[in-house]
Structure 1
Amino acid sequence: MAVFITGASSGLGAALARHYAAQGHVLGLLARRGERLNALIETLPGSHHMYVVDVCDREALHAAAEDFIRQVGRVDIVIASAGISAGTLTEERADFDVFKAIFETNVMATVSTFEPFVPLMKQVGTGTLVGIASVAGVRGLPGAGAYSASKAAVATYCESLRLELKPFGLSVVTIAPGYIKTEMTAKNPYSMPFLLDADIFARRAARSISQHNSYVVIPWQMGIVGKIMRALPNWLYDRLAVNAPRKPRQS
């Protein structure tokens, strides 16, 4: 089986790479930090393909995807796991560029990642596209407008894509992580309930991908939290969340 993963040099992408390599699959691993990506590949069993590319560079991303297709033929799974996070405030004009970067990386790069693979998958009538949303996208969180909105956008986009591609035999899986132990969450200056090791997350995510689950929250406890958050009326959610701890802004 051939698996293409973006954001593979660290965090969720690296954990997913370790899992799929251990299962004997051929990987196309893409990230902008070449040294870290190369260091990861040297630890993986098997022979894999490395692409040092910024996911916001659409042409370079497409070129990498097309090369991987030429190298392996049919691609079974594509995981758009590249993502960034930062606190943002609308009144801070400097944060506008942070908003743009978060949306370009989390949302538009997900679209760019999937684009080159859809025609081939439709042609062969099989394949799975995986988008990474977040529990943070269930409701808007104070101080995290860009991140919450971007992850809500990923979830909604993947739902639309799922309906578009279902008649062609393709699957679209949306995974919404809760708190996973990565470099990204290490910056959070607050407690993180149900914090999960990244390698455990990867095993659970891979199981959901193999089962073609349309939407899954990992860990499952955060799925319950998400359902409660979604069900709360605005007045009650506002009262509970207005003073919630906030992601730090970029310095």
Structure 2
Amino acid sequence: MSKLVFITGASSGLGQALAWRYYQAGFTLALVARRVAELQAWVDAQGISADRCRIYSADVAVSDSIVAAGQACLVDQGVPDVVIANAGISIGMDSAVRGDLDVMTRTLAINLTGVAATFYPFVAAMAARGDGRLVGIGSVAGIRGLPGHGAYCASKAGVISYCESLRGELRPTGVKVVTICPGYIDTPLTQKNTYGMPFLMSPEAFSDKAFKTIEDGSSYQVIPWQMGVVAKLLRILPNSLFDKALSGRARKARSTE
């Protein structure tokens, strides 16, 4: 019997690239998205066999919705070997604008609480089995706050810390928690950016690196490696130098821009 991977945000970008990489590796797919018709069209176009793929409709921003999708997967396909909490959004915000507080609420609901809600249905079952991978997709943007990116940076910093906490909790069970922090990947999420994106990587190249990281059970990995170096430098850069370096940097577009 082939292994099973459960992936959220599978209708485009990183989620789609990861789904294809895992399918090529022989895994059976449990794919989650709000845009089910779009995901089904992609599955059909790729020639993915129906006996190795099941699609679940869920809104990761609503905990009960994604929990229900996970529970349906347990009933229909069994306990996954890998769960990848990939669904995420990136929208700029301005704390002086009332409407952007709602943007932050939704960003945190999807990018942070959504990760915990994605993992929830599988934690006990994986622990009882004594094996599995829970994968949280963070971001280099979670290392330090970037102007205009308050909601996104806060959510991804939360993912990094949350996964670190969960890793310690599950260590005795044999379940591994993997945190992957992408740099700039060429997806619909980044294609609207108006600023420079160093070391831009294709989704296919990212998925190859991520697959190996997850299979190895590494606890934390920045992809590509060059952004890992940048991340380490950002951690140690004094605030005065960090603020000066980002002075005048273009901000992430807000929802109304």
TM-score by length of 2: 0.95
Q: Offset of 1:229 from its aligned partner?
A: 0.8
- Partner SS state of residue 117, structure 1: helix
Counterpart among 66, 72, 79 of residue 61 in structure 1 = 66
Structure 1 residues 139-191: Cα deviation after superposition (integer angstroms, max 9, x where no partner): 10001111111100000000000000011001000000000000010010112
Aligned: 1:196 with 2:201: yes
- Partner SS state of residue 180, structure 2: strand
Distance 1:11 1:193 in 2: 18
Aligned: 1:140 with 2:145: yes
Q: Offset of 1:24 from its aligned partner?
A: 1.5
Q: Percent identity?
A: 49
Counterpart among 28, 31, 50 of residue 30 in structure 2 = 28
Distance 1:69 1:97 in 2: 33
Distance 1:55 1:128 in 2: 19
Aligned: 1:167 with 2:190: no
Q: Offset of 1:72 from its aligned partner?
A: 2.3
Distance 2:42 2:216 in 1: 27
Matching residue's letter, 1:137: G
Contact 2:137 2:180 in 1 (8 A): yes
Residue equivalent to 2:57: 52
Q: Offset of 1:116 from its aligned partner?
A: 0.3
User: How do 1:198-213 residues align onto structure 2 when only pairs under 5 Å count?
Assistant: 198-213=203-218
Cα gap change, 1:44 to 1:199, in 2 (>3 Å): farther
Counterpart among 110, 114, 117 of residue 119 in structure 2 = 114
Residue equivalent to 1:12: 14
Contact 1:55 1:109 in 2 (8 A): yes
Structure 1 residues 49-108: Cα deviation after superposition (integer angstroms, max 9, x where no partner): 101211122222222111211222231000000000011110011101100010000001
- Partner SS state of residue 153, structure 2: helix
Moved more, 106-115 or 62-71: 62-71
TM-score by length of 1: 0.98
Distance 1:172 1:206 in 2: 14
Distance 2:37 2:84 in 1: 21
Q: Offset of 1:207 from its aligned partner?
A: 0.3
Aligned Cα root-mean-square deviation (Å)? 1.0
Aligned: 1:180 with 2:185: yes
Show structure 1 runs of 5+ residues with no match: none
Distance 1:158 1:74 in 2: 20
Contact 1:18 1:44 in 2 (8 A): no
Aligned length: 251
Matching residue's letter, 1:114: F
- Partner SS state of residue 38, structure 1: helix
Residue equivalent to 1:77: 82
Distance 1:109 1:141 in 2: 22
Matching residue's letter, 1:147: Y
Show structure 2 runs of 5+ residues with no match: none
Distance 2:225 2:148 in 1: 25
Distance 1:220 1:188 in 2: 21
- Partner SS state of residue 28, structure 1: strand
Distance 1:187 1:44 in 2: 30
Structure 1 residues 1-21: Cα deviation after superposition (integer angstroms, max 9, x where no partner): 100000000011001001011
- Partner SS state of residue 233, structure 2: helix
Aligned: 1:249 with 2:254: yes
Distance 2:161 2:126 in 1: 21
Q: Offset of 1:44 from its aligned partner?
A: 4.5
User: How do 1:195-234 residues align onto structure 2 when only pairs under 5 Å count?
Assistant: 195-234=200-239
